[in-house]
Amino acid sequence: MIKTILAKNFYRKLSLVLVLMLSANAHALTVGEKAPDFTLKSMAGKNLNLVEQRGNIILINFWASWCAPCRTEMPELQALQEKYQDLGFSVWAINVEQENQAGRKFLADLTLTFPIFFDAKNTLSATYQVAAMPTSIIVDRNGIVRFIFRGYKSGYEKKYAKAIKQLIREQ
């Protein structure tokens, strides 16, 4: 009898976990869907809204100061910003740390011209289902998610540039 009760509880919990996993995957951010809208205040104090950026290509980069690949990637993102900004491209960097002092300290050593945001409550990173650091999502001029890159290794900036050039040509 006890084994039967334990078995039923185990299978109920297993079923619940499977349902949650399947429902999470069913709503996962995918290429080809509209990017979820958001408004955040940048470090410069300016409120920026994603929908208002229609007509521009936006690379949304989720990062953290404790993430070594994020640290390596940040200057590469700045280089992309400088190269393609006159063609309607911008990087938006979103820090996901609940305490942003380490992020601010890391940024103090860099000269970045793109907007930096802080998602201290991880609301936006949850909406975008960020599961790896860094995660970069490229949104086209119509607000559609066109590319998702999870993680970063040296050379990924070439993949980003190829994607950006493709979207620029679609103008």
Chain mean pLDDT for the chain: 86
> Does residue 92 share a domain with residue 47?
yes
> Does residue 46 share a domain with residue 90?
yes
> Does residue 38 share a domain with residue 25?
no
What does the pLDDT read at residue 99? 87
The residue to which tokens 């690379």 are assigned: 59
Q: Which domain, by its residues, includes 122?
A: 31-169
CATH number of the domain within which 98 lies: 3.40.30.10
What does the pLDDT read at residue 120? 87
Rg (alpha carbons) of the chain, rounded to whole number: 19
Is pLDDT at 25 greater than 50 in this prediction? no
Q: CB-based burial of residue 21 (10 Å sphere; 0-12 exposed, 13-18 middle, 19+ buried)?
A: exposed
CA distance 41 to 163: 27
> Does residue 55 share a domain with residue 136?
yes
How confident is the model over 28-52, as pLDDT tens digits?
A: 789 999 999 999 999 999 999 999 9
Number of domains in the chain: 2
Q: CB-based burial of residue 22 (10 Å sphere; 0-12 exposed, 13-18 middle, 19+ buried)?
A: exposed
CA dihedral sign of residues 142, 94, 166, 171: positive
CA distances from 12 to 4, 8, 21 (A): 12, 6, 14
What does the pLDDT read at residue 26? 41
CA distance 31 to 77: 21
How confident is the model over 60-112, as pLDDT tens digits?
A: 999 999 999 999 999 999 999 999 999 999 999 999 998 888 999 999 989 99
How many CA atoms lie less than 13 Å away from 123 in the CB half-sphere?
A: 10
Could you tell me what percent of the chain has a pLDDT over 70? Answer: 84
Q: What is the pTM of this model?
A: 0.82
> Does residue 147 share a domain with residue 158?
yes
In this structure, the dihedral spanned by the alpha carbons of residues 89, 138, 171 and 158, taken in order and rounded to 10 degrees, is: 80
Is pLDDT at 170 greater than 90 in this prediction? yes
What does the pLDDT read at residue 115? 96
The closest of 150, 127, 144, 121 to 57, measured between CA atoms, is 144
Q: Quick one: tokens of 97?
A: 């740390």
The residue to which tokens 């103090």 are assigned: 108
What does the pLDDT read at residue 1? 55
